[in-house]
């Protein structure tokens, strides 16, 4: 399981030119699910995401987590995070979990995040979405439940 984590001052998700969800200060998390991911991957990444210390303290040091600042979270499914571009010119998505299995995993990830009692918003699984965001910092990080970058 893989996450692209962006610290944002705001983010909006639009579907068919209609605002679907939005957050203020917090994290936009793009979630990719690999074919062999399990609930243990979800538990690891949700805990890491919620408790990641990427928000400034009173000395402007990244020392606070989403929980510490009562921040908001926007979780968007993005299978293209498992696009393999090493061969040819067209990405291969053979490592991404099939949609019929990935959707329940995505929903489990969202529910686990909601258990922390934060404002959690989502995208719509398999929809074409437009995301407008203000990356605060900018701060963008990659998290993976299996590999070290």
| Active centre residues (catalytic) | 80
**Distance separating alpha carbons of residues 3 and 144, to the nearest angstrom:** 6
The 3-class SS string of 87-135 reads CCCCCECCCECCHHHHHHHHHHHHHHHHCCCCEEEECCCCCCCEEEEEE
User: Exposure pattern of 26-36 as b/e (b: 16+ CB <10 Å)?
Assistant: bbbbbbbbbee
């Amino acid at each position: 399981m893989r996450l692209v984590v962006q610290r944002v001052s705001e983010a909006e998700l639009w579907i068919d030119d209609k605002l679907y969800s939005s957050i203020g200060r917090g994290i936009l998390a793009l979630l990719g699910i690999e074919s062999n991911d399990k609930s243990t991957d979800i538990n690891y990444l949700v805990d890491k995401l919620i408790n990641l210390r990427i928000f400034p303290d009173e000395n402007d040091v990244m020392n606070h987590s989403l929980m510490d600042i009562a921040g908001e979270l926007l979780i968007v499914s993005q299978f293209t995070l498992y696009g393999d571009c090493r061969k040819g010119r067209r990405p291969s998505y053979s490592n991404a979990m099939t949609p019929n299995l990935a959707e329940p995993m995505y929903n489990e990830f969202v529910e686990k995040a909601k258990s922390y009692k934060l404002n959690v918003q989502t995208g719509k699984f398999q929809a074409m979405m437009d995301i407008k965001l203000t990356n605060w910092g900018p701060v963008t990080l990659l998290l993976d439940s299996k590999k070290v970058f």
